[in-house]
Amino acid sequence: MDSTVTPDKNKTPTQPRRSRRIRIIGTIVAIVAMGGLGWLAWHLVHQQPQGAPGGARGQGAGGPGAGRGGPGGGRGAPATTVGVGKAERADIPIVLDALGTVTPAAVATVRPQIGGVLQKILFTEGQLVKQGQVLATIDPRPAQMALLQATGQRQRDEAQLETAKVTLGRYQTLLQQDSIARQDVDTQAALVKQLQGAVTTDKAAEGIAQINLGYTQVRAPIAGRVGLRTVDIGNLVASSDANGIAVITQQSPIDVEFAVPQDHLPAIQGRINANATLPATALDRTRTRELAQGRFMALDNQVDTQTGTVKAKARFGNEASALFPNQFVNVRLQVNVIKNAITVPVTALRHGAGGDYVYVLDPQTHTVALTNVKRGEEDAERVEITSGLKGGETVITEGADRLKDGAKVTLPGDRPARGPGGQAGAAGAQGQAGQDGAQRQHRRRQQQEGAAQ
């Protein structure tokens, strides 16, 4: 059986014809895309000058950087907005900042002066006490008995002294009558002197016993704040105890010790020799909150060779108890004050290759002039100008890094200038952006149709 299949001659092959059609469509799409790109390039080159004669064309001829070669310096460049300040006459304080440690003016350890059992504690830990205030009591009975014993001994010796004196008087009368030997009179006179010495010793012993009885009341040696107590009621205490009962620190007034660089010594010593008062301010660690006001007290007598500084001390009233012993604070010592100095804000002073300078504003033309100056002392906000300014000038404080000598500026309160082509340029830019977006969408649609085919 012959199973050979003969091809159907009536059918026409469709595969070559479909491939030829795809190639033709692809060629047409490529030609259209090239034409669209060419039209877009011509449109971008020729339409911008026509649509924005006052915008892009003007910026290309005299934009930022043209003419003077820098920002804010070209003749056609837009003016830079700046901040301004005044060159004014003011007093400039010469201050010295240092890190200091709060030290109490006096520290005393409360110790009993006699031994005994602690009966009462009459203070609260952390309490402010006065000098002489009773803080604790010790069992007074041994001291009372010692006082009675000393008193009795004195009274006995005083009685013996009186008896000896009476006997001496009789002996002296008999001696005048030549009825007694002189040796007996002299012996009796020596006995009277011996008993007088014994009475004096007894009085001293009685006084010591009286003092010891007073020591049974433990009093505050200085005024200040009491710390934590180190012993409880019922314990045996003595004057040899190292820790005592508590520690008192004097907090009003209080001192702050700090280091002064040796370069500042001549100025400080000159003010001290002139009997001037140097104000001192204690600030917290962030230098934002003032803790207390005081004055300079004294300098140490030698320079530390390792640090090149000298220890100094300032005293503060500390009425509000804002300073605490061993606290770290920032000290600001006012050494002197420069009166009626020409000053400018610190942000107005700049430094260049030729030295320090400021930009001075001409209020009529709104242009700036670079002016060389010499700086002096300064504080946190203003700096002294020793030469270059006369006072009253307006100086640039913000935006000076974008300026050149003779540049035109705009102040924050001025209205922005509107040129004749400003609105047209903006409209042209918006129209151009819309046309570019339409062209991109058209090309995207053509690519999607070609891929689908």
71-98: pLDDT as tens digits: 444 445 577 888 888 888 888 888 899 9
357-416: pLDDT as tens digits: 999 998 888 899 999 999 888 877 888 898 888 888 899 898 888 888 888 888 876 665
Q: Give the separation between CA 221 and CA 410, rounded to whole angstroms.
A: 71
pLDDT at residue 5, as a whole number = 43
pLDDT at residue 60, as a whole number = 36
267-279: pLDDT as tens digits: 899 899 988 899 9
Confidence of residue 431 (pLDDT cuts 50, 70, 90): very low
Question: Considering only CA atoms, which of 431, 453, 439 is closest in space to residue 32?
Answer: 439
How many CB atoms sit inside 10 A of residue 245's CB? 22
Amino acid at 169: G
Residue 21 has pLDDT above 90, yes or no: no
Angle among Cα 445, 450, 452 to the nearest 5 degrees reads: 95
pLDDT at residue 135, as a whole number = 95
As a whole-number percent, the residues of the chain with pLDDT over 90 amount to 45
Question: Considering only CA atoms, which of 74, 366, 113, 303 is closest in space to residue 219?
Answer: 113
Residue 146 has pLDDT above 70, yes or no: yes
Helix (H, G, I), strand (E, B) or coil at 1: coil
283-305: pLDDT as tens digits: 998 888 999 999 999 999 999 99
pTM of the entire structure?
Answer: 0.58
Helix (H, G, I), strand (E, B) or coil at 183: helix
Domain boundary assignment for the chain: 10-54+420-453, 80-88+341-410, 96-104+249-339, 113-239
CATH assignment of 96-104+249-339?
2.40.30.170
Residue 232 makes CB contacts below 8 A (sequence gap 6+) with: 118, 121
Q: Which CATH number fits domain 80-88+341-410: 3.30.70.1450, 2.40.420.20, 3.90.79.10, 2.160.20.10?
A: 2.40.420.20
pLDDT at residue 42, as a whole number = 72
pLDDT at residue 418, as a whole number = 52
pLDDT at residue 317, as a whole number = 92
One fold for both 80-88+341-410 and 96-104+249-339? no
Residue 436 has pLDDT above 70, yes or no: no
pLDDT at residue 439, as a whole number = 54
